[in-house]
Structure 1
Amino acid sequence: MYQLFRALAYIHGIGICHRDIKPQNLLIDPESGILKLCDFGSAKYLVKGEPNVSYICSRYYRAPELIFGATNYTNSIDVWSAGTVMAELLLGQPIFPGDSGVDQLVEIIKVLGTPTKEQIQSMNPNYKEFKFPQIKAHPWAKVLSTAIMLVNLEFCQIP
């Protein structure tokens, strides 16, 4: 995952958004363990204020703002996708396996809770439909308390 985030930092640093981060676009050399990010067919230089297509990125890895139809997004859509890839590595299956855009959003809401009106407006100011079931975010700290402790030990050097 470190190598993926380094690759994203590099391409984002030169203004490129990949727009299709998914396991199939990550090549790993079995001998050296080096990761290569591939398939730049959907990649684009993102220019602030210039609209982009919202129907981009493979469904399971698509950021919520894309599902809401945002056309003025940032490189953060790649970071979302990378996070879903990391979750898939840990779970052994996609974390948000939606069958359609709406179903995809429901899967995200089941895990992260219902977005607020303000969050939806920040993703797409033109989105006017706010009829979502009120679901609280999953209490991940309880489920992953051991993992969180290990991460703290590893990265924060807590004795």
Structure 2
Amino acid sequence: MSDSCLIPVAPVELAPQRLRLKANLDGPCFADAKSRLEQLEAAIDGGNWESANSMARGFLAAVFVGICQTVEKGKEPREESEARKRLADAGFFAPGRQAGKSPEAEFVWKMSAMMGTEGAHAGATAPDVATYRYALALLTADHFAERLATTVS
């Protein structure tokens, strides 16, 4: 602890999750998500922070559309919010203590809203915001893509 701030001792390792996610995105329903991840990483590598921020939301949206399409056995892709709603209705997100309520589904909805806010416009972001959103999107996508992979197989 330094200056009343908690400082993590060990950062979250992203490489294993990134490799697993890329493997889980190999499939026709995830072509858009895979392409968006490549664009997001190119923006991060190139220091294009505003672009990276907007791409993080699009990438995560494409992941949930691909998951929904897989759960619905290859039906036409849905719009992002409809895909998340269908996944919630199908019980893809973990249930909560209250019947009909899923904290995971609420988290995904709120995260999507947060990803569309500040930082996605020219001059309105910094490297740490873009890096945070990249890590959050990558870890969230990996978590749910891995859930899909283990429930489908």
TM-score, with length taken from structure 1: 0.28
Q: Which structure has greater strand proportion?
A: 1
Higher relative contact order (CA 8 A, sep 6+): 2
Q: TM-score, normalised by structure 2?
A: 0.28
